[in-house]
Structures are given as structure tokens and as C-alpha cells.
Amino acid sequence: MRRQGPRWSRLHTVLVLAVIIAAGTLLAFLSTDVSASRNAAQQPPLARALPPAQITIPLELPQADAAEAVQTREVSLPRNPLADQPVVAQPDESWLRITVRRGDSLAAIFKRHKIPAQDLHEIMQLGRITRNLSALHPGDTVRFKLDDDQKIRQMVFDIDRVTSLQVTRQQDEQFSARIVEHELESRRTQTSGVINSSLFKAGKAAGLKDKLIMEMTTIFGWDIDFVLDIRRGDHFTLIYEEQYLNGEKIQDGPIIAAEFVNQGRRLHAIRYTDEQGRSDYYSPEGYSMRKAFLRTPVDFRRISSRFGKRHHPIHNRMRMHKGVDYAARSGTPIQAAGDGKIVYRGWKGGYGRVVILQHGGRYSTLYAHMANFKKGLRVGSRVQQGQTIGFVGSSGSATGPHLHYEFRVNGTHRDPLKVKLPDAEPIKAAYKNDFLQLAEKRLAQLDAARPSMLALNQPRPAETP
């Protein structure tokens, strides 16, 4: 028995090792099957029901050493249920979009992108409509749709945020051009302001831009001298339009109703557009807010000399001053005070460069000491109220740049600041009833807007100079 002991001991050891190896192999296979079953069970029902899509993902081996590389293999994952929905179309990539650089010209852009120079020549030959293309500015946008030969099929130039120039090659290979204005959405808003130091500051405090402030002064400018008549405590209320494009405010629209209280005198203006599309401002009774003449035909700093006898600064003696002198910067535009015809344009002694306008049979106006005349006008030319006829200067006998302005009725000089100006035509009888109904509605809107808006803009004590 002692001889057989060592033999049985070695055999036992071999059998035990074989059993351990077999058990380990079996456990490894069972572990792999259980892991696969668990992963399949964790997939959502919808995903398991959909056809698989093949992708490659990293797969970490169980008990892998951290230093070993990650292995990969192909596995099946569910397809995204939204993948089959229509894809939103992207912008047409056949359009070439160019942003103008500093120093760029259209010719340089054509050359840089190998667009035929003949296309440029033909487009510029279309006339005034393509004039905007000759003066590009940095940041401007030009878009081209080209064919396989780099020839233009279509070109779009954004003149501004609202207006575009569109050039199209027709079937006969000739170009045509048109101006396109994008449709804007109009929204009405309201504001009020109280004048404490100046109309400009009151307008800014009320949220108005310069354009709307100037529009307001133009509407009431025949009844109020906004340089001499404004007092602290005067106030205004406006209803105006704001214009939007794709939800973004682009610009201010017109004033549609306004109230201005000047030294206790309350004035109203209502905008009315007739069937022909003509718009103007009228009092609630239907009288035009415009007068046949502007009270002041120039944007001036101060009145340097009034109508009447005065000591002449050059001739050094008392002399009748037959007009009003408006001191202004040299080069300031001078406007025609009313519709009329140029009957004199040239040099006139101490008056220097002069323009005289005839307005019908009774009225005439004279504008003197001009630096130069507006080009394109001559004796016999018809001008409209507000049209530029020249520019402020100091020609002739003048001590500094200013406009000498005279107003004559039947050849007799009258004080331009005091003469009663004739009214423009009232609203036509055909529109009177419609206008009166609109005016009643607008006045009610102004009344509703005034108390709440003015409460936010009460005048403060006068500021110390």
C-alpha cells in the first residue's frame, strides 16, 4: 500500500485540475450568454421592433487590463424613428452671395469670380435703374445665380433693408431689371412729451428719432415757429406707425395723428389718404395744415435782423430793412417758400446771388446772399414748396453767412414773420364725410393716450444755465 500512495496522489491532482478548467470554461460561456440576454432585454420595445442599422462602436472586453487597446466590432442598433421624416430644404447653394469689401467695385467682383465682363456692361446699360450698382459700400450684399459658364441668370442687390434691385436674364438672353420693395408689417404706437428745455430733448425722452421729430415740426410748422414760439411746459402727443420685416423693426412709419399744445393753444393734425393714394394732414374740421407758404424757408440758428428800420451794419446809417435775415451755416439748403416760378436768378447788387419766385398773381418771394444756386434750375423753372433752390452764403453786402428773405403782396413788402399766410386747399368735398368720421376716431385715440403718457413726462424745474 505504501508503494501505491504516491501514484494515486498524482492522479487525483490531475483530475482535480481538469475539473477546475472545465468548470471555468463553462462559467465563461454562461456569463457571455447572460450578458447578451440582459442587453437585449434593456432595449425599448419600439427599438427592438425596428430594422437594425449597422454602425461601429467601441466594445470593452470584460476584465480587460487598462493598458490594453479598446477593441471594436460591428453591432446592430435601432434606427431613429424620426430619420424617415422630410428634411427641411436648405438655401439654394447655386446662389453666390458676395459681401462688398472696402475698395470693391462691381467690376472687381465680376473679375474675382470670373463672371463675364460683357454681363456687367449689358447690366449697366439698362439705365438709371441700375445706377445704385456704380456706388457700392463695404457691407453691401450682392447675390448671383450663375449658369455652368459663369454667366448671370439672376442678380439681386439689396439697396437697403426694404428695397432690392433684381436683374434677370430673359429667354432672349437680354437683361431686365426691376426694383422690389419687401412688404412691411405696420404697427401703431403712441407717445407723448413735455418740453422742459428743448423740443429735441423732449422728443428724445419720448422715444422719438430725429426723423419723427422733424416730421412733427413740418406738420405744425405753418402755425408754430419752433425757434421763437416754444415755451417750457408745451407738450405733444403722437400716434404713429412702426414698420417691421420678419418680426424685426425696420423703420418708423408716418405720423397718423398728432396734438401739440403751444402756450395754451391746442392744435390737432389728422393724416388722411384719398382714393388716389395722396396723403396729407388736416385739422379736425378738414382744413389743410399746410399753408400756401412756409413761414421760414431755411433751417437757421437765429434771426440776425428783423423787418423794419435799422442801422445798416455796412452803410452805417438808418435804412429800411425790407425782409428778415436768418443766420445759418454756409451751405445750408434754402427752400422755396411756396409753389411758384423762378422769375429772376442771378447777381443783384448788394443782394449778391438772388432768386425771386412768383407765386400766382399776388405773391412773390426773394432769397438773397446765396453762396450758389441749385443746379438744374433757371429762369422759368417751376418749383414746389420745400424744394431746394440755393444755399446759404454771404455774397454781396453781407457781414456773414445768412439768408435775406423778403415776402411781397401785390409788390408791397410785408413782414415775413407777421403776414397772414393764405391756407392751402381744404380736403375735397368728395372725401369730407369720410374724413370727419376718421378725425373723430383719431381725436378719441389722442384723448385716451394723453393722460397716461403725459404723466410719465411731467416738466421739471428750469435747468440752471
Instruction: Answer yes or no: are the C-beta atoms of 392 and 298 closer than 8 Å.
Output: yes
Cell numbers for 108, please give them.
472687381
Task: State the pLDDT at residue 347.
Answer: 95
Contact 358, 340 (CB under 8 A): yes
For the chain, the first-to-last Cα distance in angstroms comes to 132
pLDDT at position 128 is 85
Query: 433684381: which residue's cell?
Result: 166
At which residue does the C-alpha cell 434691385 appear?
Answer: 165
Report yes or no: 408 and 365 within 8 Å, Cβ to Cβ. yes
pLDDT at 53: 37
All 3 cell numbers of residue 323? 425782409
Q: Which domains does the chain have, with CATH numbers?
A: 95-181 (3.10.450.350), 185-290+427-455 (3.10.450.350), 302-414 (2.70.70.10)
> What pLDDT is stored for residue 71 in this prediction?
33
Identify which of 411, 406, 410 has the alpha carbon closest to the alpha carbon of residue 306: 406
SS percent in the chain: helix, strand, coil, step 5: 25, 35, 40
d(CA 363, CA 414): 10
The set of residues, in sequence order, having a beta carbon less than 8 Å from that of 51 and lying 6+ positions away, is 79
Q: How confident is the chain (465 residues) per 10-residue block, as mean pLDDT?
A: 51 65 62 49 42 36 35 34 34 75 88 90 88 85 88 89 88 88 89 92 92 92 82 94 88 94 94 92 93 84 75 57 90 93 94 94 93 94 93 90 93 88 87 96 91 53 37
For residue 293, what pLDDT is reported? 87
Give yes or no for a contact between 273 and 257, defined as CB atoms under 8 angstroms apart: no
Structure confidence at residue 261 (pLDDT):
94
3-state secondary structure of 193: strand
